[in-house]
């Protein structure tokens, strides 16, 4: 990922040397293999196997090596043995307890010591290191005040992360960022970011979404303050808190408690103040909540036409202001795309003019946020989320465009089909529709037969026809020709539908293969297609030769004779397709032109970002619907009404039990 990031910024990852050290042998071996698979064998040779705290294995000029950047996720809550530690000067801030699983700050100190004078590091840490007392507090105090109590901290930021991000542990974690080259105006400050509430839930593991990462990055880079999210804190404040770095002390993101109005619960009605408290959410869609409610006093009620909870959703989706907001956002993205797509032309030339993809990304993100935020439905970070999710989907396309131009390989088959082969697509859809109809008629005809096969097993067509023929034969022998004729007509109907299904399936396969062939020719052209089929024929002929020379009865689990016959059949089909190329090329209008490739790739990219925008807009609409549905759930039925219904039900039950003489007297 680091190499990929450098490449995206227009740098050369091969100019950066990667070093690492891992104690667990299995993890070390996996890391080595990972480097080799990513074509970085130099890095693989720089990954050492050993205990980092006890003995750093990367050395230079007789001491431990120093680096420009350090990124780490060390194991949480470990013990260590001081007597085994080499290069004790690494731990100038103090020694953490050897027992009690508190070696976390030893890892932090090793990383700090391994940094050059202008170096930076980021490490994952458990929250305990931020507030535990004893020797850990003493280390923390020096990290905050400086080794010589100069009142300047090398801690740049502490970022709280959501729970469940890391495999195998649910322990809350944070990112500690150290910067030995902090700007003067930040030397007596620490940035706190509380990002623990913004994530996507997973089945086994939670994850940060692209928009969550973008938000953390933006706030960290710009040192921005956001309510319940981030704050730049002076060391004076941290001293007042006795060097406790617990993130919630400085950025408390505890959600507001759900308001409950006792009067409304008892007597009915929806508190007007509570309804009005969601003004920010209404304003996103210029939504007037009064279209949902009656009354202007302290309590409101839903309008008579909203007689069921499901009608709330319908009412909001039909509301003109909501539809208009969607329309404005779609117009905004079209407007943005008109000049954004021109920036993509720069990507194709990026190798010649040095216009880096990262610069284009920055320009596009900024311009999109400007267009979206003006409408008001999505905020700054949600707009970034739309962009970042889209960019992550297309970034490998951009890399290809930057390297080889607007390649046809970037166009999905369905886009080529809808653009050049819509007639063939309609033909296939008609056959599929007829096939579905015939299969349905066949199933209905089979179900009409009074036949029960094995228990818990649906009888097959052949079983049913066999049964009908047998029954008809018996009836003929008994002289019941009319009954036998009815059964034979059922057999005829079944076979008629079955034959039609087989015919349609054969025709469908032929049309699908033909369309697939046309798409390939459109994509590769005459020469490219000939090479493609010649390569396939050559490979099939090699496989055939091996199969014919083999003394084994089975090849890849299949009968040798069957394999040989299948290969001969494949070669015949491929040779036929090869011979048809020139004729097909005329019928499809030749190979796709480079200009068409660019148009279709840009259309694909626009469709992707448009879909992403719709996803975000629908999320906001759902949030609005949920707010109003919550009022229904909380206040629609008051306590008095529930008690009256209960009393009525009890009275009816008592009367019923009296009639049955369950009560004495």
Do 565 and 606 fall into the same domain? no
Do 117 and 218 fall into the same domain? yes
Indicate the pLDDT class of residue 349, thresholds 50, 70 and 90.
Answer: low
Q: What is the pLDDT of residues 574-606, one digit of tens each?
A: 888 888 887 778 888 888 998 999 999 999 999
Do 116 and 229 fall into the same domain? yes
Q: What is the pLDDT of residues 53-66, one digit of tens each?
A: 999 999 998 899 99
Q: What is the mean pLDDT of residues 392-414?
A: 89
What phi and psi, each to the nearest 5 degrees, are found at residue 175? Answer: -105, 125
Judge whether 277 lies within some domain: yes
* Cα distance between residue 659 and residue 413, in whole Å: 74
Do 547 and 527 fall into the same domain? yes
Do 627 and 483 fall into the same domain? no
* Cα distance between residue 514 and residue 577, in whole Å: 10
Give the pLDDT score at 354: 46
Whether the Cβ atoms of residue 261 and residue 635 lie closer than 8 Å to each other: yes
Instruction: State CA 479 to chain mean position distance.
Output: 69
Do 401 and 434 fall into the same domain? no
Whether the Cβ atoms of residue 366 and residue 340 lie closer than 8 Å to each other: no
Do 144 and 210 fall into the same domain? yes
Do 574 and 425 fall into the same domain? yes
Whats the size of the chain, residue-wise?
Answer: 665
Judge whether 36 lies within some domain: no
Give the pLDDT score at 641: 67
Whether the Cβ atoms of residue 35 and residue 54 lie closer than 8 Å to each other: no
Q: What is the pLDDT of residues 428-468, one digit of tens each?
A: 999 999 999 999 999 998 888 887 767 667 888 888 888 88
Do 355 and 424 fall into the same domain? no
Whether the Cβ atoms of residue 327 and residue 375 lie closer than 8 Å to each other: no
Classify residue 204 by its DSSP letter.
S
Do 393 and 476 fall into the same domain? no
Give the pLDDT score at 626: 96
Do 270 and 238 fall into the same domain? no
Question: Residue 294: beta bridge partners?
Answer: 301
Q: What is the mean pLDDT of residues 402-415?
A: 90
Do 208 and 269 fall into the same domain? no
Q: Is pLDDT at 665 greater than 70 in this prediction?
A: no
Rounded to a whole number of angstroms, the distance between the first and last alpha carbons of the chain is 84
Q: What is the pLDDT of residues 98-126, one digit of tens each?
A: 999 999 999 999 999 999 999 999 999 99
Judge whether 662 lies within some domain: no
Task: Report strand pairing: 20-22 vs 299-302.
Answer: unpaired
Q: Is pLDDT at 345 greater than 90 in this prediction?
A: no
pLDDT-above-70 percentage for the chain: 97
Indicate the pLDDT class of residue 639, thresholds 50, 70 and 90.
Answer: low
Locate all alpha helices (DSSP H) within 146-278, ordered by sequence.
210-222, 235-240, 247-250, 262-267, 272-276
Per the structure, the count of domains in the chain is 3
Judge whether 255 lies within some domain: no
Q: What angle do CA 362, 364, 366 make, to 5 degrees?
A: 70
Mean pLDDT of the chain: 89
Residue, of 553 and 158, whose pLDDT is higher: 158
* Cα distance between residue 130 and residue 250, in whole Å: 12
Q: Report the candidate in 93, 74, 87 with the shortest Cα–Cα distance to residue 135.
A: 93
Non-local (6+) Cβ contacts of 206 within 8 A are 162, 163, 164, 165, 199, 200
What phi and psi, each to the nearest 5 degrees, are found at residue 234? Answer: -70, 150
Give me the domain span that covers residue 199: 51-250
Of the listed ranges 131-135, 351-355, 509-513, 547-551, the least confidently predicted one is: 351-355
Give the pLDDT score at 640: 64
* Cα distance between residue 85 and residue 69, in whole Å: 23
Q: Is pLDDT at 1 greater than 80 in this prediction?
A: no
Q: What is the mean pLDDT of residues 215-220?
A: 94
Q: Is pLDDT at 636 greater than 70 in this prediction?
A: yes
Hey, which bits of 535-632 come out as E strands?
554-555, 558-559
Give the pLDDT score at 353: 46
* Cα distance between residue 53 and residue 58, in whole Å: 12
Residue, of 403 and 310, whose pLDDT is higher: 310
CA distances from 572 to 196, 534, 555, 560, 566 (A): 62, 12, 21, 19, 10
Indicate the pLDDT class of residue 360, thresholds 50, 70 and 90.
Answer: confident
Indicate the pLDDT class of residue 642, thresholds 50, 70 and 90.
Answer: low
């Amino acid at each position: 990922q680091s190499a990929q990031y450098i490449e995206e910024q227009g740098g050369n990852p091969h100019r950066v040397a990667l070093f690492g050290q891992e104690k667990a042998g299995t993890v070390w071996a996996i890391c080595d293999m990972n480097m080799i698979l990513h074509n970085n064998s130099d890095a693989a040779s720089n990954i050492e196997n050993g205990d980092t705290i006890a003995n750093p294995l990367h050395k230079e000029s007789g001491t431990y090596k120093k680096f420009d950047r350090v990124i780490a996720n060390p194991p949480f809550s470990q013990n260590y043995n001081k007597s085994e530690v080499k290069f004790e000067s690494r731990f100038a801030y103090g020694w953490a307890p050897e027992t009690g699983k508190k070696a976390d700050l030893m890892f932090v100190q090793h990383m700090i010591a391994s940094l050059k004078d202008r170096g930076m590091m980021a490490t994952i840490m458990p929250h305990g290191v931020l507030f535990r007392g004893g020797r850990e507090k003493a280390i923390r105090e020096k990290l905050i005040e400086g080794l010589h109590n100069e009142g300047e901290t090398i801690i740049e930021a502490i970022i709280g992360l959501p729970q469940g991000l890391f495999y195998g542990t649910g322990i809350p974690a944070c990112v500690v960022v150290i910067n030995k080259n902090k700007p003067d105006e930040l030397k007596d400050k620490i940035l706190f970011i509380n990002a623990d509430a913004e994530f996507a839930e997973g089945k086994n593991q939670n994850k940060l979404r692209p928009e969550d990462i973008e938000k953390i990055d933006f706030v960290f880079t710009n040192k921005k303050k956001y309510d319940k999210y981030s704050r730049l804190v002076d060391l004076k404040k941290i001293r007042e808190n006795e060097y406790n770095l617990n993130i919630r002390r400085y950025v408390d993101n505890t959600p507001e408690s759900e308001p409950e109005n006792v009067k409304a619960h008892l007597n009915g009605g929806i508190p007007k103040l509570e309804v009005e408290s969601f003004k920010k959410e209404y304003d996103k869609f210029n939504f007037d909540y009064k279209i949902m409610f009656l009354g202007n006093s302290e309590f409101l009620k839903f309008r008579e036409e909203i007689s069921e909870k499901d009608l709330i959703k319908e009412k909001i989706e039909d509301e003109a202001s909501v539809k208009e907001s969607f329309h404005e956002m779609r117009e905004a993205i079209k407007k943005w795309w008109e000049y954004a797509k021109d920036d993509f032309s720069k990507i194709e030339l990026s190798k010649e003019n040095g216009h880096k993809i990262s610069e284009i990304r920055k320009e596009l993100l900024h311009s999109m946020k400007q267009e979206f935020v003006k409408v008001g439905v999505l905020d700054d970070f949600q707009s970034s989320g739309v962009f970042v999710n889209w960019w992550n989907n297309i970034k490998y396309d951009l890399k290809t465009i930057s390297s080889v131009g607007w390649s046809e390989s970037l166009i999905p088959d369905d886009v080529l089909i809808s653009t050049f082969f819509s007639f063939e697509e309609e033909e296939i859809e008609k056959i599929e529709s007829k096939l579905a109809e015939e299969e349905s008629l066949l199933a209905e005809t089979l179900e009409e037969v009074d036949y029960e096969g094995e228990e818990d097993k649906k009888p097959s067509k052949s079983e049913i026809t066999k049964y009908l023929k047998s029954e008809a034969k018996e009836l003929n022998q008994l002289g019941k020709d009319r009954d036998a004729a009815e059964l034979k007509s059922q057999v005829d109907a079944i076979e008629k539908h079955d034959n039609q299904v087989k015919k349609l399936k054969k025709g469908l396969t032929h049309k699908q293969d033909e369309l697939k062939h046309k798409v390939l020719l459109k994509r590769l052209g005459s020469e490219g297609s000939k090479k493609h089929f010649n390569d396939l024929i050559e490979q099939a002929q090699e496989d055939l030769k091996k199969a014919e020379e083999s003394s084994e009865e089975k090849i890849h689990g299949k009968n040798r004779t069957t394999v040989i016959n299948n290969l001969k059949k494949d070669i015949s089909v491929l040779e036929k397709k090869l011979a048809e190329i020139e004729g097909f090329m005329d019928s499809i209008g030749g190979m796709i032109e480079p200009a068409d490739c660019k148009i279709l790739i840009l259309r694909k990219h626009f469709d992707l970002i448009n879909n992403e925008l719709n996803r975000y807009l629908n999320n906001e609409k759902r949030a609005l619907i949920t707010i109003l549905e919550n009022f229904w759930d909380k206040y629609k039925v008051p306590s008095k009404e529930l008690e009256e219904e209960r009393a009525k039900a009890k009275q009816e039950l008592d009367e019923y039990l009296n009639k049955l003489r369950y009560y004495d007297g």
